[in-house]
Amino acid sequence: MISEKIILGIDPGTTIMGFGIISVKRGKMEMVSIHELILKKYPNHETKLKYIFERTLSLIDEFHPDEVALEAPFFGKNVQSMLKLGRAQGVAMAASLYRNIPITEYSPKKIKMAITGNGNASKEQVAGMLQNLLNLKEFPTKYLDASDGLAVAVCHHFNSGTITDTKSYSGWESFLKQNPDRLK
């Protein structure tokens, strides 16, 4: 019996959110789908969060991933941007946990390192390497946020069984145990 694993990778964003889905059979990766959610057209942050939750759930329900991997927000100078990005990530995490799918977070540097061997690689370099790794004749999207979602899924596959510097949660209880500071 051939075991197949489906991994949903998510690059959280408040302007464009990227999603990449891969299938792994006998250690061989194949791109299943790539999506982006364009959020800049929505009038407020609350509406964006609603669409992030709905889109994440719809992809989970359509593709039935075994695991979800997310890019962890990086620390920038703009606190408001960080808060909004963290909320977007949290909503995607909530949708995954709502469907009881284990989630893992990766830092942007770790993702770039896993894909290109260079933690400071550009988005274009990551997309080019993904094209090679997944044997894509051309890249199926113009948005690099979508390719970043795909990179998160591939990074997760490469790190399966050897995960360090990441956080994994198998459900709400696991999340709360590992994050007691988030309880009030």
Query: Which residues does the annotation mark as catalytic?
Result: 11, 71, 145
Is residue 148 marked as binding?
Answer: no
**DSSP line for 33-97:** EEEEEE-TTSSSHHHHHHHHHHHHHHHHHHH--SEEEEEPPP--S-HHHHHHHHHHHHHHHHHHH
Instruction: Report d(CA 176, CA 23) in Å as an integer.
Output: 29
Q: State the angle between helix axes of 108-116 and 144-158 in degrees (0 to 180), rounded to the nearest 10.
A: 80
- Is 11 known to sit in a ligand binding site? yes
Give me the amino acid identity at 155: C
Binding residue numbers for Mg(2+): 11, 71, 145
